[in-house]
Structure 1
């Protein structure tokens, strides 16, 4: 095997690990958020799926744990990144911002809850994901 083929395999493996790091952070946020939602629906804290949830306190609760999970997602992404952890974190953050913005645009006209909630989800994507990456960087022995 020649050096060029080995180099290309190494690059492909690094790209795969980079995609995996971002995907793992994203999936952590989604799975934790939806799992907690389901738990609160089953416990009767939230109304049944498909029903509007206009109660500000319940929306603050959902926003609170989603903020925590977004920080966790940023941390996971930074931890799994094969190199440049904060670059990977920023990729995840912008994916969150784009999906949050699309979600706000789609759901605000549906009147399924307060309008501020989907806007807050989009607005917190960047700072919370960044915080997760920063926490990893602060705790990481390699600086």
Structure 2
């Protein structure tokens, strides 16, 4: 049980840390403005893209560290991401275009599937 919790926690934290770190780097480089209210659509799509990649990586790590049932663990992390995404829509949906927050919510199950499957498929090919 503890190994499962650690696997999910590592996947979640890796996603959060990578997103915050990359956001900060882009802000320091003046690529991403500090005021999220006035961000152009191409920049929002770029942010969405790297956050999807980081989320897939987090689900992959969770699946890799899972003591058993890697897909189940990736889906649990996806469920946590779904709850956090819905919370983000409710509490912070005004920080960018309406579709940005909703796209993360809608894509989260697919992201969890892809992250878990990436690990499972690499294990099968060994």
Answer whether TM exceeds 0.5 for this pair: yes
1:115 paired with 2:98, answer yes
2:10 counterpart (10, 24, 29): 24
2:71 counterpart (82, 86, 100): 86
1:121, distance to aligned residue in structure 2 (A): 1.3
Instruction: Give the aligned length.
Output: 126
Do the aligned partners of residues 130 and 96 (structure 1) sit closer, same or farther apart at CA in structure 2, a change above 3 Å counting?
Answer: same
Larger Rg: 1
- Could you report, residue by residue, the CA deviation over 1:40-82 in whole angstroms, capped at 9, with x for unpaired residues? 000000112x552431111101000011111101110000000
1:103 paired with 2:103, answer no
Q: Is the 8 A contact 2:85 2:105 kept in 1?
A: yes
What SS class does the counterpart of residue 52 from structure 1 fall into?
helix
In the other structure, the counterpart of 1:44 is 30
TM (norm. structure 1) is: 0.83
1:142, distance to aligned residue in structure 2 (A): 8.3
Please identify which structure carries the higher helix content. Answer: 2
Q: Is the 8 A contact 1:25 1:73 kept in 2?
A: yes
- Gaps of at least 5 residues in structure 1 are 1-14
Distance 1:53 1:77 in 2: 35
TM (norm. structure 2) is: 0.94
CA RMSD of aligned residues (A): 1.6
Q: Is the 8 A contact 1:18 1:88 kept in 2?
A: yes
Q: Which runs of 4+ in 1 moved over 3 A?
A: none
Do the aligned partners of residues 112 and 136 (structure 1) sit closer, same or farther apart at CA in structure 2, a change above 3 Å counting?
Answer: same
